[in-house]
Structure 1
């Protein structure tokens, strides 16, 4: 008697699902599928007088029934007998045709294993028949020290089984790279090998995930079958592997690391085999005879969709928000997605942030969010706006957050050259503060509000201050809850005050400020102790002193009495703040010319046309005087002086100059 095994159908590929097809399979209620599995045997005699008594083929790779998968028809050819978990094909007497097949029609449903309550971790007891799925096996070597250490680290301090399993799945997805290098391998690699190399295909990632679960006493089952994929443009069904995790009181729950489907699988997944280890064969051969061997072919599997119908309702809602509504060029920003579980059972969904030109995401675009029944949770992405945009424009950047089932939410923010620039460190600190506030549940029982005199008195949303003002910030903190808050530290940067805050009590804490550079600012005041973490943000614009420089003065050194000439100069704005209530005067003896400007936004050029006859003989001194104010009516001024010589004056011209001066004096006397 001889035996032959065909190992796990073929090496299972790390299939990446087609996005549109995946969405369709995820949102459709049910599908009818047809799958045909076939192969053949060839006799290989070693002599001419060989003989064959019988040949057996035990196929363990065919559709299985469970809550989500129902077999409506199964036809075998030749007719097979069900032996345990296999279909047995038997040939006796007639060995002329040794092909065999199993054709099935089945229905798959988009259902969820509705875990409605917390299951304690570690698991205290399991049914006897489940115990084998907690033990190490050949490829799923869960007794390896590195696997035990990592899994224990990830689960440390967590007492919710669903959350623990999701942490394990997320670690594998985030840290093990899909690699096609192992596609030519004859057998699947061990879980410990995958952990060490940090690479593998779908069966190997699944083995590692199951090994990590088993190392914590969590039962894990290896599932192999078919699923829809677009790998290498296939856009068809292909071999695939995923896991099932046992939850006491609820049964086996699917987790597909490759497809990012945690706690569920889509309609395209067809379960064909359940096993303890990934190296179990999909078909076994046995034959008896003399001088005879057999040659076998790989299983040929063809799958097609017969029908899809119905839609499932959304499981979650999403609300996106840009934490900073306006930022400068080259700044970082924080994008928040508040996701709500609309159902009364645990649910995990993948979230992604859209790709937008000029924006880079720090870290992964995709995140998995495990939600308890009806839970709300906030997820964050740090993004960077590239520098070098055109300073003449204000830009609007749309952002979309979407789930694996294409539930979407949109937000946006603007950017211009004069908006504040936030560093990665500042935005990451903001993210950590918001996450800490969410963890410390009592934080919502504390109200913290900070303001300045101008903001409060004038109801300014973004008050302006000059450097010399050093505005004082007043922070009002109130305990709205029923817990005494001890050793509560309020800090503005390194300036900290420690207080105790009783129930219903209000305290006002003041901080002094100073700043060295102008621009739009945002100050953070944070209140923190072991029970709470609460932050308040105050926006204002820091103004430098207004500054005008008189520049580019152009004038002739010498002029004649009957000669016209021009004096040119430019007022240059050398400050971020705008000078206001500006008076420009050109003084020369009794001659005064003046101009008034309400506010100087940009540089301004002056061209003054004069005649030589208004000058005195010889050297004439000129003064350009500019007086202006800031928003607080503080006075500033600047001057520039120069001289022009009137030459070659005749006797008659001298007499006319004297008459001009006399007329100016009389005009002055008369007011």
Structure 2
């Protein structure tokens, strides 16, 4: 009769799961309005879920649940134990032994205080830390090494004067290129697929932006969490980029550099695949089902920041005639980093009183720059009724700036008028040079002073000019353009005249690696530096990225300057070395190579023998670790030498048996000298050895 042993096989499963039913979010507490202005929030979040194993003998279950993260702007207290992953994300850890019916019903609570993020300073030069470099690497779904993505990123960021301007341009491009489409809510697309689809939700906006940022050599990480949108609290994705410190970027809501307090960070990721994980142990286990994964978000308190009021809204004239043109402008004091959407809306009337071209504008605010200028040209209708006075209020709108109103009065009463005749002193100038705008002013009617001004995207100036009746006068404006290419300057008067002049700004000079200074020869372990001299011959400051030895450093080079950057050479291993050094920037590519040798101290050993038939001393020297240079071996007033020895080398001396002192001297490749001596004793040949030697010689000579 055969007997059988029954074997129970226990298995451990570790899986990442998304809930098998739709996760729901329940909202309680205080209502939130104007989420973009929320400065501080206090929340209580409850994670409520059920996980079930359909069959088998379940011994235990372990669950890691994503929860809000502790950070500088997000203070969190947890009700359960925590574990961390390799990226530093906190997870609530839940363990249950012998779950009843193979089911775990879990509940976890977090209390959170969230502050808005405002970036007021970015270091002009910085090095990317080792633990941040992983956010430069392409992943399965974020293909930053894809040719299309790299080419597009280069094109979008062309002409940028800082890394912040680069990421702002990338976020704006993604925001304008993609169409928000809720049908993408339950799919995970890679960056190339998003580029093809031209649509998506927050995950797709973030995926494409992160790919563009990494393709531009700017570290970026994918952030998953929650935010308060048009439909209340909802799952949300945004990103963070490293510009000397981590800076938030929400490409969907176009919050760049600044982030409202309704953004709750749950995890940071290298890729866009974000899931909880479950580990189960048991026998004959069936399917693992995440039946419930709900969140209850209770808003305990909310506070709002004020809209920014420190800006100037003005116009070239507030009292005009039909047919006049008006320049409206906003001067924004740049105290932080962000992207602003602004608009100027004229009054609604029939007939139309004032029209404005391109009412909506999108501007990048950079705290390192001078005041930001946004301007519009308005046209007063020439068909307004005579002998009537019209008042047209124009409204300035922005989510983050205080709304303001300008009242423009239009009447057909005779007013003074002038004719403007502007010209540029230099039709083509180099970046960093000063441009002169000469404005000829001819009085047509009236008398008294006239306000004359010029405005560009980054410069504004205005002054009063006395123009006598029937005469001419002039005004001169001097400024330094900051943008390459065709620049336009709008020249205006307070009497309703507007003219535009153009000139080209070209780049003169170059940025390059001037030379590399280093020792050609170094000993293993010796501390030695590579001095990299970078020259900027341009008349403007330039930002470059320096790549050397696996490090990436962002540098700001002042105009017409030379800087030296020192970096340690790798002397850990001997051998010939070639280190590549290259820089990149806007229209800047240069590379140089540092060739050097790292040597080690040669290890010298020796042995000897004596050939009685030839009457020669055979002194063998063995050299390891590195070459022994200028090796000299002396015996019996005879010196033999070799210029360079590595391995085994034998020296032959014609000497009779006896006692000798053998002296050795050598250098390492760095020129350091070493010496040693050995006593050699050559005794008389014993009779048996002599007989054997003579027999061998006889046989060889037969």
User: Counterparts of 2:479 and 2:321 in 1: how far apart (Å)?
Assistant: 39
- In the alignment, the residues of structure 2 paired with residue 205 and residue 318 of structure 1 have an alpha-carbon distance, to the nearest angstrom, of 31
| 1:214 equivalent in structure 2 | 214
CA RMSD of aligned residues (A): 4.5
SS of the aligned residue for 1:39 comes to: strand
Paired with 2:312 and 2:364, the residues of 1 have a C-alpha distance of 14
Pairwise CA distance, 1:244: 0.3
Matches within 5 A, 1:27-106: 28=39, 30-45=40-55, 50-59=56-65, 61-71=66-76, 73-76=77-80, 85=89, 86-96=91-101, 98-106=104-112
**Quick check: 1:244 aligned with 2:240?**
yes
Question: 1:257–1:439: structure 2 CA closer, same or farther, 3 Å change rule?
Answer: farther
Distance 2:275 2:432 in 1: 51
After superposition, give the CA deviation of every residue in 1:52-96 in whole Å (9 maximum; x if it has no partner): 22222222x20101110011x3113xx666666433322222324
Cα distance, 1:116 vs. partner? Answer: 4.4
TM-superposed CA distance for 1:351, in Å, is 2.9
Counterpart of 2:630?
none
Q: What is the distance in 2 between the residues matched to 1:217 and 1:473?
A: 59
Q: List aligned pairs for 1:170-185, cutoff 5 A.
A: 170-183=172-185
TM (norm. structure 1) is 0.57
Do the aligned partners of residues 204 and 318 (structure 1) sit closer, same or farther apart at CA in structure 2, a change above 3 Å counting? same
CA deviations 1:123-146 (Å, max 9, x no partner) are xx5222111211112222212222
**Cα distance change, pair 8–224 in 1 and its aligned pair in 2 (3 A):** farther
Q: How many angstroms does 1:347 deviate by?
A: 4.6
1:34 Cα offset (Å)? 1.0
SS in 1 for 2:172: helix
Check 1:44–1:150 CA distance in 2 against 1; reply closer, same or farther (3 A cut).
same
C-alpha contact (below 8 Å) 2:430/2:505 kept by paired residues:
no
Cα separation, 2, equivalents of 1:473 and 1:528: 29
Aligned mate of 1:279, from 273, 278, 282: 273
**Is the counterpart of residue 197 in structure 1 residue 197 in structure 2?**
yes
* Separation in 2, partners of 1:200, 1:332: 42
State the Cα distance separating 1:208 from its structure 2 match: 0.9
**Cα distance change of structure 1 residues 109 and 419 upon mapping to structure 2, 3 Å threshold:** farther
1:448 aligns with 2:438: yes
Deviation at 1:393, TM superposition (A): 4.4
Provide the aligned length of Structure 1 versus Structure 2: 447
Cα drift, residue 156 of structure 1? 2.4
CA deviation vs aligned residue, 1:487-515 (integer Å, no higher than 9, x gap):
xxx9999xxxxxxxxxxxxxxxxxxxxxx
Counterpart contact for 1:361–1:381, Cα < 8 Å:
yes
Which secondary structure does the structure 2 equivalent of 1:133 belong to?
helix
Q: Distance in 2 between matches of 1:8 and 1:332?
A: 61
- Once the two structures are TM-superposed, the CA of residue 308 in structure 1 deviates from its matched residue by 3.2
Distance 1:52 1:492 in 2: 77
Which structure 1 residue ranges, 5 or more long, are not aligned? 14-19, 421-429, 463-470, 484-489, 494-519, 533-671
After superposition, the Cα gap between the structure-2 partners of 1:479 and 1:247, relative to the gap in structure 1 and judged at 3 Å, is closer
Stretches of structure 2 that go unaligned for 5 or more consecutive residues are: 1-11, 25-30, 416-421, 452-468, 482-487, 508-702
Q: 2:474 aligns with which of 476, 479, 486?
A: 476
Query: How far apart are the structure 1 equivalents of 2:479 and 2:57?
Result: 89
Of 13, 16, 38, the match for 1:5 = 16
Note if contact 2:19-2:293 (Cα within 8 Å) is conserved in structure 1: no
Structure with the larger strand share: 2
Take 1:491 and 1:116, find their aligned partners in 2: how far apart are those partners? Answer: 30
1:394 to 1:385, Cα distance in 2 relative to 1, 3 A: same
Is structure 2 residue 37 aligned with structure 1 residue 26? yes
Following superposition, the deviation at residue 175 of structure 1 comes to: 2.5
- Which of 524, 530, 534 pairs up with 2:499? 524
2:19 touches 2:292 (CA, 8 Å); kept in 1? Answer: no
Q: CA deviation at 1:191?
A: 1.8
Q: Secondary structure at the match of 1:237?
A: strand
Alignment check: 8 A CA contact 1:135 1:142 kept: yes
Q: CA deviation at 1:265?
A: 1.2
Residue 164 of structure 1 corresponds to which residue in structure 2? 166
Kept in 2, the 8 Å contact 1:321–1:412? The answer is no
* Aligned mates of 2:286, 2:500 — CA distance in 1: 85
- Per-residue CA deviations over 1:158-177 (Å, capped at 9, x if unaligned) read 34111111111121222322
* 1-structure distance, mates of 2:480, 2:201: 54
Q: Deviations over 1:631-668 (max 9, x none)?
A: xxxxxxxxxxxxxxxxxxxxxxxxxxxxxxxxxxxxxx
Q: CA deviation at 1:31?
A: 2.4
**Residue 10 and residue 42 in structure 1: after superposition, are their counterparts in 2 closer, same or farther (change >3 A)?**
closer
User: Using the alignment, how far apart are the partners of 1:480 and 1:384 within structure 2?
Assistant: 27
Change (3 A) 1:372 1:476: same
Task: Report the more deviating stretch, 159-168 or 186-195.
Answer: 186-195
How far apart are residue 473 of structure 1 and its match? 8.4
Give the drift of 1:259.
2.3
